[in-house]
Amino acid sequence: MGRTQQSSIKALLESIEQAKQKKEFNILKDLKTLRDGFGKIQKRDYLALIDKLMEKYSTDEAAAIHAAVMKKVQAGDLDAIRLWNEMQKESGSGVAEVHIIDNF
């Protein structure tokens, strides 16, 4: 029995969710998926695919990056501390500014 269009769409959405859970962020692969689906799937399903990818990159990738930066900050990496400080300023988090004095 062959795949139906609906089962193919469901499989695409599930593969995006699995990649999200594994913290796999391959923009090129995801763009190729969108390109391959263009015109082949209904507008509603195509928009659902785009929404799922937007959720994956806007929420999960940012969280993974934040976790990696925080790990380096906690290890005392001065560049990571500076980056974290800049990120806090940009987000307007209201966190007190940290000044690093290098005695080297």
pLDDT at 98: 57
Position 4 pLDDT exceeds 80: no
62 CB-side CA count, 13 A: 8
pLDDT in tens, 8-44: 667 767 777 776 666 677 888 888 888 988 888 889 9
**Residue 22: burial class (beta carbons within 10 Å; 0-12, 13-18, 19+):** exposed
Tell me the domain boundaries of the chain. Answer: 5-91
Count Cβ atoms below 10 Å from residue 83 Cβ, excluding itself: 14
pTM: 0.46
pLDDT in tens, 48-70: 888 988 888 777 767 777 788 88
Position 79 pLDDT exceeds 60: yes
